Amino acid sequence: MTALLAPAPPAQRVVWKFGGSSVADPERLRAVARRLVAARRAGLQVVAVLSAMGDTTDDLLRRAYEMAQRPQPRELDALLSVGEATSCALAAMAVHELGERAISFNGRQAGFRTDGAHGCASLLRMDPRRVVEALDDGLIVLVTGYQGSSAGGDVTTLGRGGSDASAIALAAALGLRQCDIFTDVAGVYTADPRIVPGARRLDRLGHPEMLQLAEAGAQVLQTRAVELAAAHEVDIHVRSTFTTADGTWIRREATVFEQARITGVAHRRRDPVYTVRGLSPATVSGALAQRGAAVGSIMPEPGLLRFTAPGAEVVEVIAALAAAGAVAGVRDDLGSVSVVCPAVGNRPEVSARMLAALERGDIVPQLVTSTPGRVSCHVGTDAVDRAAALLHREFDLHAEPAELAVTE
């Protein structure tokens, strides 16, 4: 994002984002409306960025592929943007029923200007003047997440989970240094508490640690939202929609990269490995970028290329490669599990312990990759949950503090 209009905000102004699970049905949407009204009556100027209700985006995507093998990206964006608009209009109606005034804005009305890359557009600038005017008029402002508008006026979307990025960008454009992300869990955990019951909520993280967790599959925040927050020095407070308790603070702070602390274990239940012949890495990366997807790992082999595209839909990857004149093979029975540690590039014992623990659990890694901040293993889809729980125990993440014993 190259430019932000950032006026000095009143102290009482807030930007809150509510995810799809928080507005999944009419009763939850009414509960969000009650929370917004209570905040307004307490003297706050409230902007709420809303996701689509529940599985609406998945349902719309499925309908698109029932109509066409390769939906046109422009029309796909036009379709997928409907979910967030529905959430905001309904929430505004609920607020009015409670006796307060509200207004809903789509991405263009709220000032989100993007490039023309449908499916994964980049934010170029923000002009939140209409939002500010509505706040100063005493209205609760409901903003559609996930979407913006290109120079030509077309609807664009910001990639799956893009409502997080919308909220962070809007907070920065309003001159705020905090954005609250409301979700169905109480914060960021050392692992997904739905599959690792002993997972521990983390009170505080730095942006770099959260970025590694997000890239490895932790679904609590979108990767580009964390990048935006770091770039514009916005603290993120991840908290539960259903309580008033504090959650996890992701703050503007330097991570001590020589420390040995294991941050957590993240996973993707589905993380396919693709094979393609006759295309270079640059061609594959370019073809995926045109469909709003990104390459993860690339492994060139004689005569073929193996690669991953974390978070991308299989149909999108296949369509992208077909447009480039290639047929992709897909190993679709794989997922991934990652150990996140800021110092892992200098701690080879982390990889060694990880692989030894998987071996003891009779889990065979199909692919091992590493970055300076994490080590990831592709394993069979049916072994992902067990691998995550096993590694959580191996590194004693149930305990406090979660420190890796390092031998000199």
Cross-strand bridge partners of residue 380: 334
pLDDT at residue 316 is higher than 90? no
Same fold, 6-184 and 264-394: no
Using one digit for the tens of pLDDT, what is the confidence trace for 121-138? 999 999 999 999 999 999
Q: Residue 189's pLDDT is what?
A: 95
Alpha helices, H only, 102-193: 107-110, 129-136, 162-173
Q: Are 247 and 237 in contact (CB under 8 A)?
A: yes
Per-residue confidence band for 3, with pLDDT thresholds at 50, 70 and 90? very low
Q: Can you tell me the mean pLDDT for 191-218?
A: 92
DSSP state of 201: B
pTM given for the model: 0.87
Greater confidence (5 vs 247) lies with: 247
Tokens of 228: 């935006």
Average of pLDDT values for 301-315? 87
Report which of residues 254 and 37 the model is more confident about.
37
Please give the pLDDT value at position 400: 59
Rounded Cα–Cα distance for residues 32 and 241 (Å): 8
| CB-based burial, 252-279: b 16+ in 10 Å, e otherwise | eeebeeeebbbbbbbbbbbbbbbebeeb
pLDDT of residue 212: 92
- pLDDT grade, residue 260 (50/70/90)? low
Mean pLDDT throughout 196-208?
A: 92
Mean of pLDDT values over 169-191: 95
User: Residues 266-274: what's their mean pLDDT?
Assistant: 94
More confident site: 294 or 191:
191
Pick the CATH number of 6-184 from 3.40.1160.10, 3.40.50.1370, 3.40.50.360, 3.40.50.2300: 3.40.1160.10
Lowest-confidence region among 248-262, 290-304, 314-328, 359-373: 248-262
Q: What pLDDT was estimated at residue 259?
A: 54
The pLDDT of residue 320 is 86
CA–CA separation, 28 vs 19, rounded Å? Answer: 11
DSSP-derived secondary structure letter, 376: E
Q: Which pLDDT tens digit goes with each residue over 94-120?
A: 999 999 999 999 999 999 999 998 988
Quote the pLDDT of residue 8: 43
Average pLDDT across the chain, whole number: 90
Q: Beta-carbon neighbour count of residue 194 at 10 Å?
A: 11
DSSP string spanning 55-119? Answer: THHHHHHHHHHHH-SS--HHHHHHHHTHHHHHHHHHHHHHHHHTT--EEEE-HHHHTEEE-S-TT
Distance CA 365, CA 324 (A): 31
Q: Cα-flanking dihedrals φ and ψ of residue 277, to 5°? A: -110, 145
Q: Given this model, what pLDDT does residue 347 score?
A: 81
Residue 407 pLDDT > 70, yes or no?
Answer: no
CA distances from 40 to 128, 138, 247 (A): 19, 9, 22
Span 133-166, pLDDT tens digits: 999 999 999 999 999 999 999 999 998 889 999 9
- Which bin fits 175, alpha (ψ -120 to 50), beta or left (φ > 0)? left
Say which CATH class 264-394 falls into: alpha beta
Taking only the tens place, the pLDDT of each residue in 362-406 is 999 999 988 888 999 999 999 999 999 999 999 999 855 444 443
- DSSP code string of 203-224: SEEEHHHHHHHHHTT-TTS-HH
Residues 285-306 pLDDT 10s: 998 887 778 888 888 888 889 9
pLDDT at 266 over 60: yes
How high is the pLDDT of residue 265?
96
Domain spans of the chain, in order of start:
6-184, 264-394
CA pair distance 289, 292, nearest whole angstrom: 5
Average pLDDT over residues 65-70: 89
Ranges 127-141, 219-233, 341-355, most confident: 127-141
